[in-house]
Amino acid sequence: MSKTPRTDQAAFEANFSGTVFKVVDAYFARQLETELAAAKAKLRELRKKINEKKKKSETPRTDEHLRRKEENGHTVVVSSDFARQLEIELAAAKAKLKKLREKK
């Protein structure tokens, strides 16, 4: 089976000054290039999403809390953005406290 069945189907012979070439309409080539650009853009988007998921979370405790927290059989949720902001601020405050203690 051919790796280029669409091109094989679209190709035809053209005679230019006695020399015969296998060619396709420019429209067909442009269509392939447009589809290729769209596919590459989608790949970049998917790679970006995969890389974002691979990054280590800055707020692992909040992530764990959201996965496991239940009360009275119901999952209790908070805005993860809110919890992440709280944890980031807490980490910053603890770092400042540590610096102040080290200066004493």
Q: What ranges make up the beta strands (E) of the chain? A: 12-16, 19-23, 70-71, 74-75
How many CB atoms sit inside 10 A of residue 62's CB? 20
Question: Which whole-number Å values give the CA distances from 82 to 50, 54, 62, 63, in the listed order?
Answer: 24, 22, 10, 12
**pLDDT by residue (tens digit) across 46-78?**
888 877 776 667 777 766 666 555 556 665 566
Signed CA dihedral, 78, 84, 85, 88: sign only:
positive
Which range has highest mean pLDDT (1-5, 81-85, 87-91, 100-104)?
A: 1-5
Total-model pTM: 0.49
